Structure 1
Amino acid sequence: MRIGLQLGYWGARPPANAGELVEAAERAGFDGVFAAESWGSDAFTPLAWWGARTDRVRLGTSVAQLSARSPASCAMHALTLDHLSGGRCVLGLGVSGPQVVEGWYGQPFAKPLARTREYVSIVRQVLAREAPVRNDGPHYPLPYAGPGSLGLSKPLRPITHPLRADLPIWLGAEGPRNVAQTAEIADGWIAVYYSPRVAGMYEDWLAEGFARPGARRSRAEFEVAAACQVVVTDDAPGARALLKPYLALYVGGMGAPEMNFHAELFRRMGYGEAVDDVSKLFRAGDKEAAAAAVPDEMVDEVAIIGDRDHVRRRAAEWADAGVDTLLVGCRDVAHVRSVADALGLAEGVGLAEHL
């Protein structure tokens, strides 16, 4: 199993120690560094800035939002970062949700699966650079000839020759149809909240996509990257308490009541009653009570918390369940080192060799 450092997206200001974390992660044997975006900091600039301090780790977006850039613009970002890093870019994409897409980017959210399929197709055309880029789909028509067009457009291909035509594209997906399409058209799946207990459900969704005609990868060639907080500690209750406000935010506040993909995912895990309680309290403005309503079991479904031996055993369970890469958020350099030590990274051997 590989381990990636998840930098996430910024709050009110940039994290003061991000550069130190990135350098420590590479020294400790982490496989990659990943950055996200919401409606503040972007996903590409931190990777270029702090990634310049690295020589080995992959630099990935997890995720860059489709509506933040046109497909051609996104491909330009990816091919640029890939050149600057010597072929270490991983392009992770996601649709976000209607509140962000329509409220922040001012674009329609409808038909996210069709939009994703077109988007990925255009990005791949840019990276292949075999011909001028064209797309006949309704969401990203190229060349554009619709309302407001001057009728002077022409198909183009990138001036810069991309370093890799097969630059890996991963998709963040949570629902069954989205995960199946990810298996069909992408090189990897970014699971925001993954639970080994229901791995069979995920594998069924993936298998549907791999079985489709023209699927890009087989299961053996496909990478599953799961976001997972890993905390090596003798105070598991205290660590859970620190994570509960974040779960309450995503379950209760990251999405409209009528469409919250994170909440629906936890419902599929069997936490429907808890989701209802947390959502009601969060929307009423009582965030402290919402966090307290998150059950311990719900935290342990999607995080690995405990002493060194417990963390090692649980990580092996995630690997056995089909996870190839854990995307781990770390608060400081000591946290990076504790994760690396527990999972055998600092010793230069794989996790399985310790079990």
Structure 2
Amino acid sequence: MKLGLQLGYWGAGLPPHAAEMVVAADEAGYDAVFTAESWGSDVFTPLAWWGSATTRVRLGTAVAQLSARAPTATAMAALTLDHLSGGRVVLGLGVSGPQVVEGWYGAPFGRPLARTREYVSIIRDVLAREAPVTSAGPHYPLPYNGSGADGLGRPLRAITHPLRADLPIWLGAEGPRNVALAAEIADGWQAVYFTAALAEEYNTWLDDGFARAGARRSRADFEVAACATVTVTDDPAAEYDRHRPVIALYAGGMGAATKNFHADLFRRMGYGEVVDEIGARFREGRRAEAAAAVPDELVAQTTIIGDAATIRRRVAEWGDLGVTMLMVGARDAGQVREIATVLAEN
């Protein structure tokens, strides 16, 4: 199984040890490093800055939010970084959620599947550079001739020739229709919280997408990248407390009470009552209590924590369930190297 390093998005400031971890991943044989964005740090700048110190790893976004940029702007960023890195970019895209899209980007969230399909199509047209790029819309019409337009827009072709027309595009997705769409139109799927308990459902959703007319890839050449913190320890219970606040944030704070895709995912795992409790406490500002409500079992399902033998066994199990890349979170360069060493024995 391939290894990816997931750096995530920043908190209040520059995350410690990130630059050293990227170099360590490059040297330790990781396949890729990934950055993310929410409503603070952006996804491309850290990737370009830290990635400049690497020579081999792929540089991926996990994920670039659709509403942050027009599809042509995202294509420009990807093709630019692809040139600078010598063809090492993986473009991971995601719709985010209404709280961010409407609250931060000031755009409507509606019809996320249709928007994603149109967005990806435009990016592929930019990268193909076979003709001036046009789109009938309705979400990203090119040229734009709607309200307020001067009527002077014309179809354009990228001035810069993309290095790769087939630059890989992955989709971050959690629900059944989104995952199926990834299998239909993308080159890979980024799973935020993978769990063996839902693997059969995940594979059913993926197979639905692969079976659609015109599907871009098959199971044989499609990448499934699962995010998970991997910690080698003889005392797993001591590590669980580190993860409770993060799960509480995703379940209770990364969305509204009536629409939270992460909370929906945890419900599918069988934690509906737990999610209700976490959400209620989080929205009341009782974040420590929300974190305390996250059970050990939920942490254990969505992370890989244990001694070296346990780590190797669990990673092998995920591989048997269809995961082709493990996108690991780590705290420092030493942990990055330790994970690589332990899994090299698989």
For the criterion TM > 0.5, the same-fold answer is yes
In 2, Cα distance between the equivalents of 1:27 and 1:181?
Answer: 34
In 1, Cα distance between the equivalents of 2:63 and 2:171?
Answer: 8
In 2, Cα distance between the equivalents of 1:90 and 1:183?
Answer: 16
Q: CA deviation at 1:16?
A: 3.2
Which runs of at least 4 in structure 1 moved beyond 4 Å after TM superposition? Answer: none
In 2, Cα distance between the equivalents of 1:50 and 1:114?
Answer: 34
| Amino acid in structure 2 at the alignment position of 1:15 | P
Partner of 1:74: 74
In 2, Cα distance between the equivalents of 1:315 and 1:179?
Answer: 21
SS of the residue aligned with 1:165?
coil
In 2, Cα distance between the equivalents of 1:310 and 1:219?
Answer: 27
SS of the residue aligned with 2:214?
coil
**Deviates most, 161-170 or 15-24:** 15-24
SS of the residue aligned with 1:309?
helix
In 1, Cα distance between the equivalents of 2:319 and 2:144?
Answer: 45
Partner of 1:348: none
- Correspondence 1:124-273 to 2 at 5 A: 124-273=124-273
Partner of 2:107: 107
Partner of 2:84: 84
Q: CA deviation at 1:196?
A: 1.5
In 2, Cα distance between the equivalents of 1:152 and 1:291?
Answer: 54
In 1, Cα distance between the equivalents of 2:66 and 2:243?
Answer: 28
**Deviates most, 289-298 or 94-103:** 289-298
SS of the residue aligned with 1:313?
helix
SS of the residue aligned with 1:228?
strand
Q: CA deviation at 1:197?
A: 2.2
Q: Deviations over 1:98-130 (max 9, x none)?
A: 010000000000000000000000000000000
SS of the residue aligned with 2:7?
strand
Partner of 2:285: 285
Q: CA RMSD in A?
A: 0.8
Q: Deviations over 1:21-49 (max 9, x none)?
A: 10111111111110000011111111110
In 2, Cα distance between the equivalents of 1:151 and 1:28?
Answer: 54
Q: Deviations over 1:56-76 (max 9, x none)?
A: 000000000000000000000
In 1, Cα distance between the equivalents of 2:240 and 2:314?
Answer: 16
Partner of 1:276: 276
In 2, Cα distance between the equivalents of 1:232 and 1:316?
Answer: 15
SS of the residue aligned with 1:227?
strand
In 1, Cα distance between the equivalents of 2:291 and 2:210?
Answer: 38
Instruction: Compute the TM-score of the two structures, normalised by the length of structure 2.
Output: 0.99
In 2, Cα distance between the equivalents of 1:59 and 1:143?
Answer: 31
| Amino acid in structure 2 at the alignment position of 1:284 | E
Q: Deviations over 1:168-226 (max 9, x none)?
A: 00000011011111111000000001102221100000111111110100111110001
In 2, Cα distance between the equivalents of 1:252 and 1:145?
Answer: 40
In 1, Cα distance between the equivalents of 2:4 and 2:268?
Answer: 26
| Amino acid in structure 2 at the alignment position of 1:327 | M
| Amino acid in structure 2 at the alignment position of 1:85 | S
Aligned residues: 346
Instruction: Compute the TM-score of the two structures, normalised by the length of structure 1.
Output: 0.96
For structure 2, list consecutive stretches of 5 or more residues without a partner in the other structure.
Answer: none
| Amino acid in structure 2 at the alignment position of 1:30 | Y
Task: Please state if 1:328 is matched with 2:328.
Answer: yes
| Amino acid in structure 2 at the alignment position of 1:232 | V
In 1, Cα distance between the equivalents of 2:294 and 2:91?
Answer: 32
Partner of 2:37: 37
| Amino acid in structure 2 at the alignment position of 1:79 | L
SS of the residue aligned with 1:288?
helix
Q: Deviations over 1:111-151 (max 9, x none)?
A: 00000000000000000000000100210000111111111
